[in-house]
Structure 1
C-alpha cells in the first residue's frame, strides 16, 4: 500500500512540475538517452557501435574523461524530444535506457497521423552484427486552418554493420531519407485550394567509423558522405574524412602530471547546384589541421591548441559574369583550463574558434521551407571566449552553467522572401507566395548564456532542464531574423511497476522571434502588378508546449503506448505563416521478437 502511494505521489510530482513550464515550444516525442553523458558517438541511433564489455581500455577511458562535455550542445538532457510539428520531424517513441533490437511498432492518431517504426538485427560469425532500421510518419496537416494542402510524409530507412576486431571496432551505415511536404505557410495572399505548393527532398548518406582500442598514434578515422536532391532539381554532394592521431598517457616527472598529444586532420568538400531563379552554384574544399596538447592532473587540466584551416571556395550564378574564386587561410585559437576543486565544483574557462560549412542539407534540417536556390558561405567564428562551472553532486545531480562572448563573420540566419514574380496573378510556382525563406549573412558578435541540469532523485526517476540565451549584435541588420532570444525546457522520465510502465513528460519554451514579412496590393497600372511592402520588424510569437507519453509492457513481447503532444492546443508558428498542429493524441502497439 505504501509503495502504491509513493508511486502515485512521484507521478503527480513529475506531471505537476512539468505543467509549471507548460508555456512552451514544438511538440516532441521522447528519445532514449543514457544516464551518463555520452562521448563521441558517430550516430545517435541504433547505428552506433554498442559498448563492448571490456572496452574501452584504461588509456581510452582517460582520453574520454578529458573529452567529456556537460554543455547543452553535446550532452542533451536525459529526455530529448524531437519535434512532431506539421513538418513531421518526430521520431518513434522509444523509452528504454538502451535501444532495443528486433521490434516493430505502429500507431495512429488525430490529424491523420500514422507512425510506423522498426528495427531488426542479427549477429553473424565473428561477432559481426548487421541490421536494418525503418521509420515513417504521415500527417494530413491542418485541414481546418488552411484551404490548401499542408500534409506531409517523412521516412528513413537504414542499414548498418557493427564489427569488433582484435585492434578496434568498425561501424558502417547507409541511410535513405525522404521528406515529402508542402510550402503551406501563405499569409499575404489567398490562393485557390488546389494550388501546387509541393516540395520533396531525398537524401542518401553513407558513413564509416573505425576506432582503435589503443591510442598509440592512430586513434580513429571517420568517413562521411551524402547526396541530396529535391523537387526542383537542386543537387548537393558532401564528403568528409577525419583522421585523429594521438599519443596519450605520457607520464611527466612533475607532481604526477600526465600529457596527451593530439593531431586532428579534417578534409571536407561540398558541391551544390541549383536550377531555379539565380541558379546559384558553390564548390568548397576545406582542409583543417588541429594540433593540441593537454596537461592534466586528476580531473584538472590545461589544453592548448589551434585550428589551421585552408578554404577554397568557388561561387557562381546567372547574375555573375564569371565564377568567383576565393582562397583563404585561417588561424583559430583553442584553449581550455579546468580546475577541479571537487567533483561538485569544476571551474573552467577557454577560447575557441573555427569554420562551419553551411550546406543546403543542414539548412533544410533547421528550416525546410527554403526556396531551392541558396547562396552558401562558411560561418567563421574568429573567437569565442567562455567561462563556466560544472559538477557532479553525489551522482544525483549533474549540471553545467556557462557564459560566453564571441566575434563571428558570415553569421547565417533566414530571411523571408517576397514574391519572385510581381505579375498580378495567383497562378504561381509553389515557392512564389511569399512562403519561403533564404539564407542571409552578416558579421557581428554573440553573447551566450547556457545551462543544463540532470537530477536523478531515484533509480527510476530522471528529471532534466535546459536553457539557452543568445543575443546577437550585427553590423548591418538591426535584428537577427527567426532566432529566439531564449529557449528552455523541463522534462522527466519515470519507470515503475518493475519497469513495465514508462512515463515521460517534456515542457518546452521559446521566446518571440523577429522576422521580416510582406503585404501586397494591386498597383492599378497596366499591366497589373503586385506592389509589395516589407515589414522588417515583425514578430513570430513565443510558444509554450506540453508533451506527455506512456508505454506499458503487457507482455515481454507486446507493449502499448500513448503520446500527447502540444497539449495546450495552441497553433503557434515555427516560422511566419507556418502553424503547427494543435493538441495531438497518438496510440499504438509494439511487438518485440
Structure 2
C-alpha cells in the first residue's frame, strides 16, 4: 500500500464525517463490478431496493442465479440539527441483518436500535426493526423545553419467487418535539410548546425480474395525525408496463418502450386557525420510447396529468374546485464518446402534490394549518457531462434552467393576535412557518465526484448552486444559494476499524422575521398590546457542519462505535430562532447475531 496515500487519507478523515439516511434495504447483486452511482438518490423508508440485470435479453440467453446480500438497518443518528439528517457509518461487506445497538451521548442523547429477520424454507423472509432516539435539547440556551424524541417500529415481509420479488412493509413513526424557536418574546420556562406527529405507513412492491409487459407494481399508503388534530390520508398506486430489447433491424439500435400509470389520492384536514382542508386526486400517464446503441441513447416521452382538487377553509365562502389536465415534456439524450466522457441533456417537468407529510419532512416547525397547492414545473432544461475513469473516478456536472408555477417555500409566521399575554398556544410565539407559493424561474448548477484511490478508501464531493427569480417575492425564503458536502469512507486493520467523515456546508439564506414590542393603548382591556414589525430581508447565516464516525469490531458479533457531530460547535440556525445542538459525542455498543 502506498504509505503517502494512506497517511493523507487518515488526515483527511479527521476533518469531517459520513452522512447517510438509510433504512432497511435488500439488494439483488448480479456479480457486477463496482460501479457506484454519482447521482444522489433519496432513499425512502419504504420498499426494498432492487438492482436489476439490464439489459433483459441477457436473462433469456444466460440463466441468472440471484444471491441475496443483506444490508442492515443503519441507526438514524441525528446530526447537529435537532431535526437533522441521519449519520452513521455504512459498510456493506460486513453486514449482518440481526443486531442490537445502544448508545448514549451528551445533550442527553439516548439511542436504541434493533433489527431481526428470518428467512424460511420457502424463501419467505419476515422481520422487523425498532428504533428510538431522544435528546434533551438546548437547556443552556433556552429556559423552555427544546427536547425531541423519535421512534419507529416496523415489520416487513419479503418473498423471492421464480419470476419476481414481493415486498410488504408496515411502519409506525412517532415524532415528539417542541416549537422551541422563540426569538422575539421571552416566555416563561413552563410554556407548552409541544407538537407530536403520529404516522402509520403500509407499502407493497412487486418487481418482475424480466421487463416483459408488467415490470413492477407499487402501492403506498400513509395515515398521519398530529397533536393539533390535523389528519392526512394518502394512497398511491403505480404500475410500470414495458417491452424492452426490441432490435430495430441490423442497425444495432435497441428500442425500449415504457408506460407508467399512476393514481394518487390525498385528503388533508386541519383543525386550528383557518381550518384548511384539501382533497386531491391525481392520475398520471408517462409513455416513453428509448433508442439505445451502446452507451448512447435517445429517450422521447411525455407526462400527462389529470388533477381534481378541492380546497376550503373558514375564510372561503364556498369550496374551491379545480379540474385541470397538464402535459409535460420528457426527453433525454446521451452521446457517449467513451466511458470517460458522456455528454447528455434533456427536458422534463411535472406536477408535485405538496402534502402535509412532505412539508413536515422539510420543516417540522410548520403551523398545523396549511393551504396546500400542487407545484407545477412547466419545463426544466438541463445539460451536462459525466463519465467514469477506469472505475476510479466518477463525475457528473450539469446546469439547468426551469420555469415553475406555485413554487413552494416557507415563510415565518408572526403573532396570530396582539393580546398582551404570554398565555398563548404553542404555535403563537412567532415561532412557526407556513408554506407560501410564487411563480418564477430557477437556474441551477450542480456537480458530484467520487474517487476510489484505494480498495478500502472512497472519497466523494457534491456542490449545488440554485438561483431563483420570483414574480412577487424579491427573495426566496429559507433556501441557500449554495450547498456542498464532502465525505469519505475508510476501512483499516483488516476491516475491523471502520471510519467515516462528512462535511456539510451551506451559504447564507434570506428569511422574514418579526420584532415584537409592547405598546400602550386605551382600547385594550389591559391597556397594552403587542405590536409587530416584519423584516423581509433578514439573514440566517451559513454554516459548516463537520462530523466523524467510527466503528471497531472487537469480535465478529460485538463492536463499539462513536460519533462526533458538529465538531466546530457552531450553534447555527436552520430556521430563524431554531439553534442546532453544539458539538456532540455519542458512543455505544453493537451486538450482531
CA distance in 1, matches of 2:406, 2:412: 18
Partner of 1:67: none
Residue 56 of structure 2: aligned partner: 59
TM-aligned CA distance change 1:313 to 1:236, over 3 Å: same
- Aligned to 1:146, the other structure's residue is in SS state coil
Deviation of the 1:87 alpha carbon = 2.6
Mapped to 1, the partners of 2:165 and 2:400 lie a distance apart of: 37
Partner of 1:65: none
Among 441, 451, 457, the residue aligned to 1:455: 451
SS of aligned partner of 1:454: strand
| TM-aligned CA deviation for residue 30 of structure 1 | 7.8
1:97 counterpart = 2:95:
no
Give 3-state SS (helix, strand or coil) of 1:9's partner.
helix
Change in CA separation of 1:196 and 1:331 when aligned onto 2, cut-off 3 Å: same
Q: Counterpart of 2:251?
A: 255
CA contact (8 A) 1:134 1:156 kept: yes
Whether the 8 Å contact between 2:47 and 2:204 is mirrored in structure 1 is: no
Aligned to 2:552: 552
Q: How far apart are 1:83 and its partner, in Å? A: 4.5
Written as runs of structure 1 = structure 2, the 5 A alignment for 1:477-488 is 477-488=473-484
Q: Kindly indicate whether the alpha-carbon contact (under 8 Å) linking 1:276 and 1:372 is maintained by their aligned counterparts in 2.
A: yes
Q: Tell whether the 8 Å contact from 1:163 to 1:169 is kept in structure 2 after alignment.
A: yes
1:498 lines up with 2:494 in the alignment: yes
Choose which of 98, 109, 116 in structure 2 pairs with 1:113: 109
Distance 1:43 1:219 in 2: 20
CA–CA distance in structure 2, aligned partners of residues 47 and 590 of structure 1:
25
Contact 1:49 1:170 in 2 (8 A): no
Residue in structure 1 matched with residue 220 of structure 2 by the alignment: 224
- Do the aligned partners of 1:31 and 1:94 also contact (CA within 8 Å) in 2? no
Secondary structure of residue in 2 paired with 1:423: coil
Q: After TM superposition, give the deviation of residue 167 of structure 1 in Å.
A: 1.4
User: What's the CA shift string for 1:99-151, capped at 9, x where partnerless?
Assistant: 53000010000000001111100001211111111211100000000010101
- SS of the counterpart of 1:125? coil
Correspondences of 1:442-591 after superposition (within 5 Å): 442-526=438-522, 527=524, 528-591=528-591
For residues 59-458 of structure 1, the aligned pairs below 5 Å read: 59=56, 83-91=78-86, 93-97=88-92, 99-458=95-454
- Cα 1:356–1:295 shift into 2, 3 Å: same
Is contact 1:551–1:559 with CA below 8 Å preserved after alignment? Answer: yes
Per the alignment, do residues 377 and 520 of structure 1 end up closer, same or farther by CA in structure 2, a change over 3 Å counting? Answer: same
Q: Aligned partners of 1:127, 1:60: CA distance in 2, in Å?
A: 26
Q: 2:13 maps to which residue?
A: 15
Change (3 A) 1:505 1:57: closer
* Closer, same or farther: CA 328–273 of 1 in aligned 2, 3 Å: same
Alpha carbons of structure 1 residues 210 and 42: separation in structure 2 relative to 1, 3 Å: farther
Deviations 1:157-206 (A, max 9, x none): 11111111121111111111110000000000000011000000011111
Stretches of structure 1 lacking an aligned partner (at least 5 in a row): 63-78
Pick closer, same or farther for the CA change 1:46–1:11 going to 2, 3 Å.
Answer: farther
Give the superposition deviation at 1:382: 0.2
SS in 2 for 1:529: strand
CA distance in 2, matches of 1:589, 1:303: 49
Distance 1:91 1:418 in 2: 31
Q: Distance in 2 between matches of 1:479 and 1:57?
A: 45
What residue number does 1:592 align with? 592
Contact 2:490 2:500 in 1 (8 A): yes
**Does the 8 Å CA contact 2:76/2:87 hold for their aligned counterparts?**
no
Residues 88, 138 of structure 1: 8 Å contact kept = no
Moved more, 231-240 or 163-172: 163-172
**Kept after mapping to 2: 8 A contact 1:31/1:82:** no
Deviation at 1:459, TM superposition (A): 0.8
Contact 2:413/2:432 (8 A) holds in 1: yes
Partners of 1:29 and 1:82 within 8 A in 2: no
Relative to structure 1, the CA distance from residue 41 to residue 564 in structure 2 (aligned partners, 3 Å threshold; closer, same or farther) is closer
List runs of 5+ in structure 2 lacking aligned partners. Answer: 28-33, 60-73
Closer, same or farther: CA 14–60 of 1 in aligned 2, 3 Å: farther
Question: How many angstroms apart in 2 are the aligned matches of 1:31 and 1:284?
Answer: 30
Aligned residue for 1:523, secondary structure, equals strand
The answer to whether the 8 A contact 1:122-1:131 is kept is yes
Task: State the 1:60 CA deviation.
Answer: 7.5
SS across alignment from 1:126? coil
Tell me the equivalent position of 1:76: none
- Distance across 2 between alignment mates of 1:500 and 1:216: 44
- Assess if the C-alpha contact under 8 Å between 1:519 and 1:532 holds in 2: yes
Question: 1:236 touches 1:270 (CA, 8 Å); kept in 2?
Answer: yes
CA shift, 1:522, in A, is 1.8
Relative to structure 1, is the Cα distance of residues 574 and 426 closer, same or farther in structure 2, using a 3 angstrom cutoff? same
Looking at structure 1, the residues matched to 199 and 393 of structure 2 have their Cα atoms a distance apart, in angstroms, of 40
State whether residues 308 and 332 of structure 1, in contact with CA within 8 Å, keep that contact through their aligned partners in structure 2: yes
Q: Tell me if structure 1 keeps the 8 A contact 2:233–2:268.
A: yes
Could you tell me how far apart the structure 2 residues matched to 1:503 and 1:432 are?
44
Alignment CA distance shift 1:549-1:355 (3 Å)? same
Q: Per-residue deviation at 1:91?
A: 4.0
